[in-house]
Structure 1
Amino acid sequence: MKSFFEIWRNNIKEFLFRKPKEVLDIDSAILAILNDAVLKNREDIITQEELIKKIERSKKDRIKELIIKSIGNKSDVLIKNNMSEISSIICAEYNRIVKLTINDIGGIRSKIINQSDKVDYSLKFRFYYDETNNYRKFYINDKGKFNQPIENFFVLGGLCLDEKQKDNVESLMSNLKLQKNVKELKAHHVFKSQDFLECLDASKLNVLLRWINNNRILIHFVAVDHMFILASDIADMICADEKENVFYADIIYGFIKKDRNSVFDIMSRFNYPQIQNSELNAFLRAWKDYILQCKKNNDINKFAEKVFYDSVIERIDTVLISDVRFENRDCIVEKYDIYYQIMPILFLNSTHIFDEELEIQEELLKNAQWTINEQKINNYSFTNSVNSRMVQVSDVMVSLISKLLKYTREFEMGNRTDISLSKLKSSLKTQMQRENFCLLMKIIKNSYEKNQQFICVHECYTKRNALNLLMRISKITEENIVMENYEND
């Protein structure tokens, strides 16, 4: 099943940039009636109410163009025969439908819902959000390195609970026993390390995870693999077709994941992404040479992998002979505001409380007129995290989830979960680590079972390593990793 974020990403660009002439649809019957009115001078041919009923919102561009052409050609007849009333009705309805269709995001929402299997979007929940690793732009700096650690995951999410459920967050703050001068809970108050396994050994994390578990609070998040964003950008250079682009992005992602240093060396040599047009062919040839070397060194036996490698090389050769040029390649920009938009649109009956992000808020203001069934979307708000303990706890959780997803890259999925589990068990050295890991997996599992759209990892399309691994391990963690009882404080 496609995640709703993938469907959203695939449709939002078209939605944002479509023109009125591409979105207005008028039924063929209305064209005949209007032609009849113009030609026969019948002022009483149709009332405004009847006209509105006749107009439908779909995508019959041909009919739309015909009616506009008809009105344009007969405009002198309309004026001459004093038919301004019908003319004004036509113009008013045209403008109303164009405005409604452009602003109404309901079509994309319906598309997502129709492709979601057994997902309840009618929930009345309170969603709290914070984010981590929102880099916005990637480029090679003057040291020949990426300006940001590209191996990290962007994560937006946090806590969620039924709208009638009490959060008891003050009991958590009391049990954490923070210093009195701490006005706002942050991730570094709970765990100090950037390493996931070391974070698991923190006693304060145990207090927090117990509180979430015992109070039956759920979590939700969308995570974006920055390395896949990089792979997608490179795939754009060799393939303009969006469907095929996904295929090539997956293959390039595999190269980046397995051999980051070699890939980044190519990037640095050509000052990626600020590649000069005069050097674009050389950049692609460097990629071709690298893939050929990988193919030679890896002694590939799988037929599918041979096809993958050969396919990328073939695409690069096609681009090299087509003399493609790119403009304004200053940086890779990931529009994170799309991840803020989708949850309030999908879960309309819930309330969504975000930590203040001025840049994101400015982006969302541009879409403040978006509607669903002519109703504005106003179920979300932004608050200073100092004023919301639940947003503060969300900050801790998204930081932990980002570290967890980075850690999962060390595992290869395949069909051998037992190997991954064995490696995992051996890496959890202390009882605290084992207990916190099991608690975290239980919380993720409970949240995913409540609603699959609560947990979304946007990464390699074909493998989905992180999410699949999390779900598979979470089902067998408790019975395979020995731990003390943590059900009650």
Structure 2
Amino acid sequence: MDGEKNIDSTVDTKQELCDMWGIDNKKKYVFYYDESNNCRKFWVDDSKRQFNTDYTADFVLAGVVKKVEDTVDVSLESFRKPLNLQENVKEIKFKKLYSKGDFLQCVKEERLFKTLSWIDKSSFYIHYIHVNNLFYTLVDIFDSIVAIDEIIEFGYDYYRMKSVFYCMFKDKAEALQNLMFKYKYPNLQKENIEIFCNELLLLLGSRREMKAEEKFLAGMLARASKSNELVFLHCNNDYIMQENYAEFYLDPILKYQKSKHIFDEETTVQNIVKEQIAQGENARDNFEFVKSESDIFVQLSDVVAGILGKIFKYINHTSLNQQLKDAESLSKLQKDNILLIYKLRMDAEIENRGFLHSVAPLYVIENLNRFFEIVKKVEK
């Protein structure tokens, strides 16, 4: 019965969140999914003393979505001539047909523009869940050192402060990885709380040069060094920050229960998802995992997930000055592709606020939106 209560209480919580954020989860949709930058587990590799994957390559579960009543009649053959696909190409795969390097290289592809244009003209919208791995693990420290009501009491915004905390450490990732290895993060022993917090403070440098929000958080970290517990950093597995990404597959299944969810096969994740869903009072039949070659819309989802994975990595890596320089040197096709991605995002958000979901610092989302604005100005 405990499993039942857990999964069903999660459904109730998600309904409350939908109501709070104005997300329409009553309308019936068909969602298609694929993923990019799927490292399957995010952890500190104890043999290398560093993260097991590029922490700037955000996990993306994304794709296309349409209303149930909309009929779309299309096949791989429909794309063969427009995309100039050879006869031996049996499915549309981002890595094989579109991915020619980093984001700026990918948006040089005419094939990408034709694919995104098809989505734009169809009855489909794009959707995504985007997870910044470094942010996701730093939040455990943040939520262990300060309470929401304390942040509000001092006149700060909770989500903004999470973003500030991320920015304080993002450029110190190499030293942070060594520190996490040293203390088997996120399984911190309580006797090491003081030295762990103090070493984090050393990474941040002098408080004199900090902004007010940063000083506040450094103060909370100093206070935490004298505490007996950092609630989210004990009784975990050594080094493992993200055991798997199943929760992000479960999220839309439970959030949009009146909709259908079709995922690309991912053996480990799909077994976990099926097991957890089956624990509910009524096992839900609103999802399935399929082989991508059998479903053209899952294949199109692979393109959406692929290019989004590229753009989030670009944003994570690139300063404002570099974005300005890059924008000035964009070709017309590059600008057309970038602005088409921008349009698809805006159309999706207008249709349903829940279609674009980022587990990431506000800083990254603002950076992305600013990049689009830069490209729009250059286009003019």
TM-score range, shorter chain: 0.7 to 0.9
In the alignment, the residues of structure 2 paired with residue 251 and residue 313 of structure 1 have an alpha-carbon distance, to the nearest angstrom, of 17
* Separation in structure 1 between the aligned mates of residue 13 and residue 124 of structure 2, nearest angstrom: 29
Aligned position for 1:288 = 201
* 1:465 aligned onto 2:378: no
CA deviation after TM superposition for structure 1 residue 333, in Å: 2.3
Higher relative contact order (CA 8 A, sep 6+): 2
Which of 321, 335, 347 in structure 1 is aligned with 2:256? 347
Distance 2:363 2:130 in 1: 13
CA contact (8 A) 1:138 1:331 kept: yes
Residue of structure 2 aligned with 1:129, choices 5, 30, 33: 33
Matches within 5 A, 1:255-404: 255-270=168-183, 272=185, 281-291=194-204, 293-295=205-207, 299-300=209-210, 302-319=211-228, 328-369=237-278, 376-404=283-311
Secondary structure of 2:21 counterpart: coil
Question: Could you say which residue in structure 1 is the equivalent of 2:327?
Answer: 425
Equivalent in the alignment of 1:166? 72
Whole-angstrom distance in 2 between the partners of 1:209 and 1:126: 19
1:447 alignment counterpart: 348
TM-score (norm 1): 0.66
Kindly indicate whether the alpha-carbon contact (under 8 Å) linking 2:165 and 2:214 is maintained by their aligned counterparts in 1.
no
Deviates more, 1:354-363 or 1:253-262: 253-262
Deviation of 1:378 after TM superposition, in Å, equals: 1.1
TM-score, reference length from structure 2: 0.82
Q: Structure 1 CA distance, aligned partners of 2:5 and 2:195?
A: 48
CA distance 1:172–1:470, change in 2 (3 Å): farther
* CA displacement at 1:380 relative to structure 2: 0.9
Q: Against the structure 1 CA distance between its residues 305 and 226, is the aligned structure 2 distance closer, same or farther, given a 3 Å change threshold? A: same
Is the Cα–Cα contact under 8 Å of residues 184 and 386 in structure 1 kept in the other structure?
yes
Q: How does 1:211-250 map to 2 (within 5 A)?
A: 211-235=118-142, 238-239=144-145, 250=163
CA deviation vs aligned residue, 1:44-85 (integer Å, no higher than 9, x gap): xxxxxxxxxxxxxxxxxxxxxxxxxxxxxxxxxxxxxxxxxx
How far 1:405 sits from its partner (Å)?
A: 1.4
8 Å Cα contact 1:438-1:478 kept in structure 2: yes
Aligned AA (2:175)? S
What letter matches 1:214 in structure 2?
A: K
- Structure 1: any 5+ residue segments left out of the alignment? 1-15, 19-98, 414-418, 484-489
**Take 1:409 and 1:101, find their aligned partners in 2: how far apart are those partners?**
35
Between the aligned partners of 2:296 and 2:195, the Cα distance in structure 1 is: 53
Give per-residue Cα distances to partners, 1:118-155, cap 9 Å, x unaligned: x3223222210011223223123423322111121111
Q: CA deviation at 1:184?
A: 2.6
Q: CA deviation at 1:242?
A: 7.7
1:386-406 CA-partner distances (Å, limit 9, x unpaired): 211211121121121112112
Quote the Cα distance in structure 1 between the aligned partners of 2:186 and 2:18.
36
- The residue type paired with residue 327 of structure 2 is K
Q: Give yes or no for contact 2:128–2:355 (8 Å, CA) kept in 1.
A: yes
- Aligned-residue sequence identity (percent) comes to 23
Unmatched runs of 5 consecutive residues or more in structure 2: 152-157
Distance in 2 between the 1:229 and 1:344 partners? 21
For the residues of structure 2 that align with 1:321 and 1:395, how far apart are their CA atoms?
Answer: 39
CA contact (8 A) 2:31 2:64 kept: yes
